[in-house]
């Protein structure tokens, strides 16, 4: 199974930096900056060339993730399990890791995506920092009778 984790592109700051919380109404309404729109377009163009037609695309219902995935131009389902501060296990269950049959693209947030990466790659830290707009492509495969998770690629929009 292939799991592609794509962090939303650069967004405007929360309007209430002092008291705002991840997932509150103001946070969910945050939009991409002009730079973020360019990041999303660059990554989407690359990803669209790599993805097979049968890939599923899931995104958080936050405005900035919707804008990011919109650049991909593929059918997408918005899922509450991917909201800011979602539990990594909820994400893995949603995509049916590791037993899903088709590749899945998940457009979401930190720290959830980084925590999923850390868990799947058995990092000693519980979190892995993901740059805004970047993408990690992971694959679950069997090699010589042993199941393993491998990194297919890590991409950032600035390097495409």
Q: What is the pLDDT of residues 6-49, one digit of tens each?
A: 999 999 998 887 888 888 999 999 999 999 999 999 999 999 99
State if pTM tops 0.85.
Answer: yes
Q: Which domains does the chain have, with CATH numbers?
A: 2-159 (3.40.50.1240)
Can you list the alpha helix ranges (DSSP code H) found in the chain?
25-28, 34-50, 63-70, 88-95, 112-120
Q: Are 93 and 106 in contact (CB under 8 A)?
A: no
Tokens for 156, please give them. Answer: 């950032």
Of 156, 155, 159, 151, the closest CA to residue 3 belongs to 151
């Amino acid at each position: 199974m292939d799991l592609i984790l794509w962090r939303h592109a650069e967004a405007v700051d929360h309007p209430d930096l002092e008291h705002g919380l991840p997932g509150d109404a103001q946070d969910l309404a945050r939009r991409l900056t002009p730079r973020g729109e360019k990041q999303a377009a660059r990554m989407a163009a690359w990803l669209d060339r790599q993805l097979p037609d049968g890939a599923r695309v899931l995104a958080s219902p936050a405005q900035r993730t919707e804008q990011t995935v919109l650049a991909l131009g593929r059918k997408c389902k918005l899922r509450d399990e991917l909201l800011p501060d979602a539990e990594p296990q909820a994400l893995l269950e949603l995509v049916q890791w590791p037993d899903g049959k088709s590749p899945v693209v998940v457009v979401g947030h930190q720290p959830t995506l980084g925590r999923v990466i850390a868990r799947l790659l058995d990092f000693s830290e519980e979190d892995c920092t993901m740059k805004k707009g970047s993408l990690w492509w992971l694959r679950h495969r069997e090699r010589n009778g042993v199941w393993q998770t491998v990194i297919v690629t890590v991409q950032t929009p600035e390097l495409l």
